[in-house]
Amino acid sequence: MKKASIAPSLLAADFGNLQRDVEMVNASEATYHHIDVMDGVFVPNISYGMPVVKAIQKHATIPLDVHLMIVDPDRYLEEFAKLGAHILTVHYEACTHLHRTIQAIKALGMKAGVALNPHTNVSLLEDIIQDIDVVLIMSVNPGFGGQSFIENTYDKIKAAKAMITRKNSSALIEIDGGVTTANSQKLVDAGADILVAGSFVFKSEDPTTTIKDLKG
């Protein structure tokens, strides 16, 4: 049976003990650190910026999966490359020239991800899916951790999977928001490759075991 890659979202970590939480994720079965950057414009919340990403990078021994919830992300691509982002994901809704942005991310040596808000149809990626490394399907409205999972996500995963196969793309499907062990297996069965989980991991009694359980 296929196993998911797990990307715990450090948004739910204890920032007073960031090194401890980064090291816990390093030593767990997680594949990536998921890093949520919010600007208070694209989403109604501000999370953290470069100094915090730098602090995470200093202690990380597994790749950084950086999710930019910011307007005009082109301004910062180079900086995130320097900060060691392995996957750099921008929002479809925040990019006027998405093709150009994706090429720029890849030219900087990073994997290019495109995130879709819950209202954005997967079919809009039809003309660009072959250039994308990761399709991030938001299963909550971006901006906050701890929200409940939107059930329509399963249909979106299936649509993305069908498009990826039909177009001969190697894009991975990542799901972000409201992921728990109550839906993780069903998400993988629908076609998800990477599962992001914030509060479910960090609010659990034993985050290391929770990450293992999410992996299935």
| Whether 36 is catalytic | yes
Beta carbon of residue 105, minimum distance to Zn ion (angstroms, whole number): 16
Beta carbon of residue 140, minimum distance to Zn ion (angstroms, whole number): 9
Q: Please, which of residues 155-214 interact with ligand DX5 by CB under 6 A?
A: 176-179, 196-200
Residues of 3-25 as b/e, b for ≥16 C-beta within 10 angstroms? ebbbbbbbbbbeeeebeebbebb
CA 2 to chain centroid, in Å, comes to: 19
Q: What share of the chain is helix, strand, coil (3-state, %, to 5)?
A: 40, 20, 40
Asked if residue 176 belongs to a known ligand binding site, the reply is yes
Judged by CB under 6 A, does residue 140 bind ligand DX5?
A: yes
Contact yes or no for 211/21 (Cβ under 8 A)? no
- Among residues 5 and 167, whose Cβ is nearest to ligand DX5? 5
What's the token pair of residue 211? 């990450």
Beta carbon of residue 210, minimum distance to ligand DX5 (angstroms, whole number): 11
Provide the binding-site residues for Zn ion, judged by CB under 5 A: 36, 67, 176
Judged by CB under 6 A, does residue 76 bind ligand DX5?
A: no
| Whether 65 is catalytic | no
**Active-site positions?**
36, 176
